[in-house]
Amino acid sequence: MTLAPRRLLSRLRDLRARAAAPLPELVRLVAAELVSEVCSVYVQRPGDILELAATEGLNPKAVGTTRLRVGEGIVGLCASTAAVMNLPDAQNHPSFAYRPETGEDPFASLMAVPVRRSGRTLGVLVVQNRAPRHFTEQEVDDLETVAMLLAEMLPASGAAEGRTEGLGATVPRVFAGTALMAGIAIGPVVLHGTRRTGIKLLADDPEAELKRLHEAAERMQRGLDALIAGVPTGGRSADASASREVLEAYRLVAADAGWLRRVGEVIRGGLTAEAAVQRIAGEMHDRMRRISDAYLRERLADMEDLANRLLTTLMGEEPRGPIPPGAILLARRLGPAELLDWHAAGIAGVAIEEASPSGHAAILARALDIPAVGATRGMLDTAEPGDEAVLDGDEGQLVLRPEADVRQAYARALEARGARYAKWATLINRPGVTADGTAVSLMLNVGLSMELAQLDRTGAAGIGLFRTEIAMLARGAIADVGEQAAIYARALDEAKGRPVLFRTLDLGADKLLPGTVVEEENPAMGWRSLRVGLDRPALLRRQLRALLLAAGGRPLSVMFPMVATVSEFRAAKALLVAEARRIRPSPERLSIGTMLEIPALMWQLPELLKETDFISIGTNDLLQFLFAADRGTPSLYERYDVLSQPMLDLVDQLVVAARAAGVPVSVCGEAASRPIEAMTLAALGVTSLSMPASGILPVKALLADVDLTEFRPVLAAIRRGDGGAISLRDPIANWARERGLPL
């Protein structure tokens, strides 16, 4: 089976010029050009039904009568997964659904290609042959081009776009997701990703289209340069500090010639520049949506953002109109530059169907102080532009078309939230101290330079966790020594003498750089963090050298993540000490500490406390390793609790031993940012808590009202009396509420 794609596209263009929806002619033409014995088109009808609409090679009486549900049979599976099915022996595939009226018994090999537009399935294009065979990559590519053209024709044949929602537009709906940025927004929804219609598909002059592509790419790149150059580097505005690292990484992706070369190849095959960009964007989407790694999936939003920008440049579209006051943006995915654009337009909140807390959109939402929710799947199939919505960034949910009483309740909560923030603002310049006079240092967790302005905005006592890998993940590569040193020096400069604890690169598990992917059944417990650094000492030494250079004689604190044995800590410490001997000026004071995330260290405390200058508890990993519960598994999110007997016993034992050895203990996991956990940790003797910026003032407010001398015996009684309980949260919270503490 051979194909001359330019000739086929030329004949399809002539065919479209003669008829509005010539499906019978199309399947005959494709079958002839592909030298295929069968070519069929299944069209999606309302109710998630796929109906045979045209065929060449099967029984013509089956047209209009053969139907499959989406997900049923190979055709239904292709529609539900949006994946190409390339099968040499289709009838022995476990999903094969036999339809005797079609007369398809003699045909062994089958290729099914989804017909999609704007991310939604309209139908399925199928070719079949008698001989068992795999269709070649070129043949798959050619049929996908035909499917793209077919996507513009099927609406005229009554195709219904695949939807998961059949409810009326007035029914309230609640979409539970993941909190990306705390806050509440109430207002009309606007939908991201308006559909482009009227795109010309077939090129008259491929060389002219290639020229248009390259000119548009250059204009787009200049626009990105201007966007980044226009972001100020100082001041308190989060918009002004809008993640230079993330945007620079985005610009590097935009400048990558690889994907533009692929677009050029498609143009040479006969498509216009616009159609070729859409085609390649669709291919990248279908490949990347199957990647399980959360960070790599986030890059999909960047690529779709770029494709949309390039299409806008090619088509010379006007900017979007004014955004309604208080608008909430709903998006399937969202790239960093797009979020900046929408923020400038005035959105009050954003909900993203495919987003994680570590993704670029979430990082920027926190920097821009935009309430945000992720993983709200299905909302775009339900929402209509202008629908009223409530976005609850505290609980991680979107309420679409809320009832009047629900809206009023959230409006009251929003008003109360404003009052709370006004009260908290008075605490900014006060140190963290409890009602009984116990000092507790409240520090920041940061990973990007844009977050440093939060030091002054929150009145934080310093940076208790500088995640050095975040800037590398944002740029997609490990920076050289000079670039790293500049990042670390800026953190020390912005801290203005306040302590900064740098954690060395914590790569692996869900934090992967291109080229570092390792096939592991359980990457969270595999080759990651310090294990990578010790196995690649040159990589670790470069980072340690950059940290020492950044200090420039100032005090420097460095801690190593994922330490499992004292010998590992000694090996890492030796590398740092060796580098320190070579760098001048030497740090005024060099403090070397460890994260405690692996429970095995608890049985090595005597030796560890002789070696380390400080210990920082990472509650996120410690909790998952203590209870053998992957924190990336949704069904286990709330099954195990920091406020459980085993965790509190562990922290208590560590604090007692460390205090005797004169080694300070801090907590830098997510638990430190929740007031009730912060109160409990402080009662156990933890004197330093590091957290995201949003947690500083609420925790400071609670600590200011709690008397630890009163709470400690209560906590001890709760721990004695609830042996074996899953969590001690309820009795602790009840005690706090009885005293009117602001949980």
Task: Convert 696-712 to b/e letters by CB count within 10 Å (16 or more is b).
Answer: bbbbbbbbbebebeebe
> Cα(50)–Cα(55) distance, rounded to whole angstroms?
14
pTM for this predicted structure = 0.60
The answer to whether the bond into 88 is cis (omega within 30° of 0) is no
> Cα(81)–Cα(286) distance, rounded to whole angstroms?
9
| Count of beta carbons in the 10 Å neighbourhood of residue 147 | 23
CB 587 within 8 A of CB 555: yes
% pLDDT > 90, the chain: 38
- Report the pLDDT value the prediction gives residue 633, as an integer from 0 to 100: 57
Q: Which residue has the tokens 């997609």?
A: 476
Q: What are the start-end ranges of the E strands in 47-119? A: 49-56, 67-69, 85-87, 109-117
Q: Which tops the pLDDT comparison, 59 or 291?
A: 59
Is the pLDDT assigned to residue 48 strictly greater than 50?
A: yes
Stated as kind and residue range, the H or E segment containing 423 is helix 404-425
Q: How confident is the model over 469-515, as pLDDT tens digits?
A: 877 765 666 788 998 999 999 999 999 999 999 999 887 654 444 44
CATH topology of domain 173-410: Enzyme I; Chain A, domain 2 (1.10.274)
- Report the pLDDT value the prediction gives residue 148, as an integer from 0 to 100: 82
**What angle in degrees, to the nearest 10, is found between the helix axes of 360-368 and 244-255?**
140
Q: How confident is the model over 65-98, as pLDDT tens digits?
A: 999 998 899 999 998 888 889 999 999 998 899 8
Choice among 192, 285, 343, 360 that is catalytic: 360
CB 465 within 8 A of CB 428: no
CB 466 within 8 A of CB 501: yes
Q: How confident is the model over 397-412, as pLDDT tens digits?
A: 999 988 888 888 888 8
668 is catalytic: yes
Q: Which of these, 203, 339, 216, 194, lies nearest to 265 by C-alpha position?
A: 203
Q: How confident is the model over 293-307, as pLDDT tens digits?
A: 444 455 555 666 677
CATH topology of domain 433-738: TIM Barrel (3.20.20)
Return mean pLDDT, the chain: 81
Q: Which of the residue ranges 246-250, 392-396, 610-614 has the most confident prediction, judged by mean pLDDT?
A: 610-614
Choice among 39, 285, 343, 668 that is catalytic: 668
Measured on CA atoms in the order 507, 510, 515, 519, is the torsion positive or negative? positive
Place 647 in a pLDDT band, splitting at 50, 70 and 90: very high
Q: Which residue has the tokens 């050029």?
A: 264
Q: Which residue has the tokens 């203590």?
A: 626
Going from N- to C-terminal start, the domains of the chain cover 5-157, 173-410, 433-738
CB 246 within 8 A of CB 474: yes
Is the pLDDT assigned to residue 708 strictly greater than 90?
A: yes
Question: Which architecture does CATH list for 5-157?
Answer: 2-Layer Sandwich (3.30)
